[in-house]
Structure 1
């Protein structure tokens, strides 16, 4: 079921007040966008009634949709600037791309699952500043590179070199990482050929497939 307009409005503002403001989501632009964008519209219909719960939600192919807190923390720590060019990897239904479009203005949203891409295409229809593209998540989207910021909307074991090559020098990444079975949120900045991620919060985060580290041989 989809909540009524009034119910969704109340739940959205409760989410901002109780989940985000109390947990270091303090960028006024991110808070404004998340209090405005109807999160339920970016979710499969069977989950729209619980769109504002502080939990991960199941999606196609074993994927999961991140909680509002994960998205709020990632985008806050990304320090998004107006006019920046952003790539979202793992767009799912398009929610994080919509938030970024409200703040940055130019967003490429990459999704690999056809059904999720169809959902995002419908949800983002008429949304200025967002281009939805389909392809393997672990390859990024070189056609629109270079980017000021890459947001990986999920946790990965590593960021592929091919994705890093799509960043401008000085560009940033905001992502979840998988570290010995624990998911953390992290950010990093590219400087020449150097890049490293610095974790800033241990939070349950949806794991994206296709970003596994190559297994090393052990005796």
Structure 2
């Protein structure tokens, strides 16, 4: 599949839509304006790729709607070369956005089918995360901790303790918490033992699954 002027025009419209919905981080908007979302979807969805909607990507998973991707990315307050742990690589679209924003991305996926697909797709697009790992996101990635930011792209019934432990002091953890519906939650690590918590309303994600490997 190619990336055409028509696709770029649709991306520009999507960026405008995200601005209208309150996304203000230019780094986020610029990344979404550059990344060809249609390449992350089954070709049958190509005509809808720049609508602000989630779509199935196989293995009972979805690609998040662009607003959700933008909202989570904005909450991270990323700076260039920030070390980011992503839990749930999925289609790789959120990974690509983080990479385009200049982050050094470590991403974990526990669905082997998606892991294999994304491991091929991202390098073919010239997007190179620091690490793509097949594993259990609940455990995080202790070997590469601590992280400036951690982003979870699936609904978690609770905030996994290992993720909190792997966050730098001053670091930000963005995670949707809840069972059927989730509340977007931001934790900022203040010191070894204390976290500041902020909540940002309801979102809907596929569940974060563990111990599947």
TM, length-normalised to structure 2: 0.87
Give distance in 1, aligned partners of 2:141 and 2:42: 25
Where 1:154 maps in the other structure, the secondary structure is: coil
| Mapping 1:55-134, distance limit 5 Å | 55-125=53-123, 126-134=126-134
- Residues of 2 paired with 1:5 and 1:190: CA distance? 43
Please give the secondary structure, in 2, of the residue aligned with 1:121: helix
Give deviations 1:161-180, integer Å, cap 9, x for gaps. 1122111122110122226x
After superposition, give the CA deviation of every residue in 1:78-130 in whole Å (9 maximum; x if it has no partner): 11111210011111121111111122331111111122112211221032444
> What whole-Å deviation, never above 9, does each CA across 1:126-160 have from its counterpart, x for those lacking one?
32444211111222222221101001113222121
Q: 1:44 to 1:119 in 2, by over 3 A?
A: farther
Q: Within 2, Cα distance between the matches of 1:129 and 1:56?
A: 23
SS of residue paired to 1:70: helix
Matches within 5 A, 1:200-211: 200-203=200-203, 205-210=204-209
Partner of 1:142: 142
Q: Secondary structure at the match of 1:12?
A: helix
Which position in structure 2 is the counterpart of 1:155? 155
Ranges in structure 1 where 5+ consecutive residues have no aligned partner: 212-219
SS of match in other structure, 1:33: helix
Give the conservation status (yes or no) of the 8 Å contact 2:78–2:103: no
Q: 1:138 to 1:46 in 2, by over 3 A?
A: farther
Unaligned segments of structure 2, at least 5 residues = none
Match of 1:193 in 2: 193
2:115 alignment partner, SS class: helix
In the TM superposition, residue 206 of structure 1 has moved relative to its aligned partner by: 1.6
Q: TM-score, normalised by structure 1?
A: 0.85
Do the aligned partners of 1:83 and 1:105 also contact (CA within 8 Å) in 2?
yes
Using the TM superposition, give the Cα deviation of residue 10 of structure 1 relative to its aligned residue in structure 2, in angstroms. Answer: 1.8
The equivalent residue for 1:217 is none
Are the structure 2 counterparts of residues 171 and 187 from structure 1 closer, same or farther at C-alpha, using a change threshold of 3 Å? same
**Does the residue aligned with 2:9 lie in a helix, a strand or coil?**
helix
Q: Using the TM superposition, give the Cα deviation of residue 25 of structure 1 relative to its aligned residue in structure 2, in angstroms.
A: 0.8
CA distance change for structure 1 residues 130 and 11 in 2, over 3 Å: closer, same or farther?
A: farther
Equivalences, count = 207
RMSD: 2.0
- 1:51 aligns with 49
